[in-house]
Chains A and B, each alone.
Chain A
Amino acid sequence: MNISIVSGKGGAGKTTFTILFAKYLVSKGKKVLINDLDVEEPNVNLFLNKKLDYDEVYIYIPEHIKENCISCKECAEKCLFNALVVAKDFWLVLPELCHSCKLCEYVCKYSAIKGSKRVIGKIGQSFDKMLHLLEGRLNIGESLTTALIKQVIGKSLKIKDNYDVIIMDSPPGTSCPVIQASKDADKIIVVAEDTPFGFSDFVVLSDMLKEIGKDYYLVINKYIDGEGYSEFASKNNVKVLGKIPYDINLAKNYSFGDVEDIDTIDFDNIYNTLLEG
Chain B
Amino acid sequence: MKEIVVVSGKGGAGKSTITAGLSYFLKENDILVDADVDAPNLKILLEPELIREEDFYSGKQFKIEQDFCIMCGRCYQECSFEAIEIVNLNYVIDDVACEGCGLCQFLCPVNAISVSDKLTGKKYVSKTKYGFNMVHALLNPSEENSGKLVAEIKKIAKNLAKEQNSSTIIVDGPPGIGCSTISAISGSDILLLVAESTISGLHDMERLIELTKNFKVKRKGFINKFGLNHSIDEKLVNLFESKEIEIVGYLTYSQNIPQYLKKRVNLPEHIDGYKKLFEGLYNRLMEAVG
Contacts and interface: CB of A to CB of B under 8 A. Distances in A.
Contacts of B57: none
Contacts of A9: 11-12, 39, 41
Nearest to B60: A80
Given A140-B207, A174-B142, A193-B12, A227 B262 contact: yes
B179 interface: yes
B204 A176 contact: no
B210 interface: yes
Given A145-B179, A197-B44, A46 B106 contact: no
B142 A200 contact: no
A97 B9 CA distance: 22
B262 A201 contact: no
Contact of A143 (B139, B179, B253, B258): B179
Interface stretch (B65-73, B93-101, B243-251): B93-101
Nearest to B200: A43
A179 B253 CA distance: 33
Interface string B40-81: 010010000000000000011000000000000000001011
B41 A197 contact: yes
Contacts of B35: none
A15 B175 CA distance: 15
Given A41-B10, A80-B100, A211-B141, A60 B80 contact: yes
Contacts of A195: 258, 261-262
Interface residues of B, number: 63
A177 B197 CA distance: 27
Interface stretch (B143-151, B159-167, B268-276): B143-151
Interface in B78-130: 78, 80-81, 96, 99-103, 106-107
B99 A99 contact: yes
A129 interface: no
B44 A10 contact: no
B131 interface: no
Interface residues of A, number: 62
11 contacts: A11-B11, A12-B12, A41-B200, A43-B203, A101-B102, A106-B106, A143-B182, A197-B261, A204-B38, A205-B141, A225-B262
Given A99-B99, A101-B99, 12 more contacts: A9-B12, A11-B12, A41-B175, A80-B59, A99-B101, A106-B78, A143-B147, A172-B11, A173-B38, A196-B261, A224-B258, A256-B231
Interface of B: 9-13, 16, 38-39, 41, 44, 59-60, 78, 80-81, 96, 99-103, 106-107, 138-139, 141-144, 146-147, 174-179, 181-182, 196-201, 203-204, 207, 210-211, 214, 225, 228-229, 231-232, 253, 255, 258-259, 261-262, 264
Interface of A: 8-12, 15, 40-41, 43, 46-47, 60, 78, 80-81, 99-103, 106-107, 138, 140-143, 145-146, 171-176, 179, 183, 193-197, 200-201, 204-205, 207-208, 211-212, 222, 224-225, 227, 246, 248, 251-252, 254-257
